[in-house]
Structure 1
Amino acid sequence: MTISIGDKLPAASFKVMTDDGAKTLTTDDIFAGKKVVLFGVPGAFTPTCSNNHLPGYLENHDAIRARGVDTIAVLSVNDQHVMAAWARFTGAEGKILFLADGSGEFAKNIGLDIDLSGAGMGVRSKRFSMILDDGKVTALNIETQPGVNESGAAKILEQL
């Protein structure tokens, strides 16, 4: 079942890279008591994700944060090493939190997984964005067509 507005995120853990190596963060670590913008992408370094989706959040970082958002985070079904490399490559280190959902369990648990095996990518995350207040979904945007039409930073700014 797909997560909906008003739902609380299920408990989960994610891997992130720090200066001290890989670290596990839980949903409580990331979302408890905070206003967070979370967006999900099918894959780090993939063309639409790298050229269209992530850049909008990076360019609008200050405007989003100015509207009371504590954290902007991106989720992908990639490992923490790939996510850290993507953060460095895009210049988003320290601005956007890169969450590795390596096995795709979180994406599955919130009903936003997609099987892209036909494209050689396996199970990934659908392209989405959401606003969370203390872990509760207050806005949810899920792409139904290719591209970044509903889940980009411009839509999130409208919703904040």
Structure 2
Amino acid sequence: MTIAVGEKLPDLKLKEATPDGPAEVSTGDLFKGKRVVLFAVPGAFTPTCSLNHLPGYLDNRDAILAKGVDDIVVVAVNDAFVMTAWAKESGGAGKLRFLADGSAAFAKALGLDIDLTAAGLGVRSKRYSMLVEDGEVKKLNIEESPGQATVSAAAAMIEQL
């Protein structure tokens, strides 16, 4: 069952790179008392993710934060080391939070996982964006195809804010 607007996100652990190595990030702590834009991609360094989806959020970071958003988070079914490399290569390090959902546990818990085994990618996250306020989903935008980034794009999120 796919998570819906009005529901609370489950409290699960994601990973984030730190100078001391990967650290657990509790989604309960991540969203508690905050207004957060979360977007998910099928994979770091993949074409649509790197050329369209992520750059839109980087380019519009200040406009999103100006709308009362406390943080912008990107999640992918990759490990924390890949997410760190993607943050550095994209210029997003220190601008967005890059969190790893290495085993797709978060994607599965939200009902937003997709099996891309036929494309050689295994189980990944669907491409989506959401506005989360104090752990509750306020807006949810799920792409029909993992190769698209339109309804979940930064411009669409800005209109919803």
Distance 1:10 1:28 in 2: 7
Match of 2:150 in 1: 149
Distance 1:159 1:7 in 2: 18
Q: TM-score, normalised by structure 1?
A: 0.98
Percent of matched pairs sharing the same residue: 60
User: Can you list the C-alpha shifts for 1:72-109, whole angstroms capped at 9, x where unaligned?
Assistant: 00010000000000000001011110110000011000
Instruction: Please give the secondary structure, in 1, of the residue aligned with 2:103.
Output: coil
- After the TM superposition, which residues 8-47 of structure 1 pair with which residues of structure 2 at under 5 Å, given as runs? 8-47=8-47
Distance 2:135 2:157 in 1: 16
Determine whether 1:59 maps to 2:59.
yes
Match of 2:79 in 1: 79
Unaligned runs of 5+ in 1: none
The ranges of structure 1 where at least 4 consecutive aligned residues each deviate by more than 4 angstroms after the TM superposition are none
Unaligned runs of 5+ in 2: none
Match of 1:131 in 2: 131
Distance 1:30 1:109 in 2: 16
Instruction: Please give the secondary structure, in 2, of the residue aligned with 1:33.
Output: coil
Shift of 1:11: 1.0
Q: What letter corresponds to residue 23 of structure 2 in structure 1?
A: K
Distance 1:120 1:71 in 2: 32
Instruction: Please give the secondary structure, in 2, of the residue aligned with 1:85.
Output: helix
Matched pairs, number: 160
Match of 1:4 in 2: 4
| Larger CA deviation: 59-68 vs 15-24 | 15-24
Match of 2:68 in 1: 68
Shift of 1:29: 2.1
Match of 2:103 in 1: 103
Distance 1:143 1:60 in 2: 20
Distance 1:65 1:112 in 2: 25
Shift of 1:141: 0.1
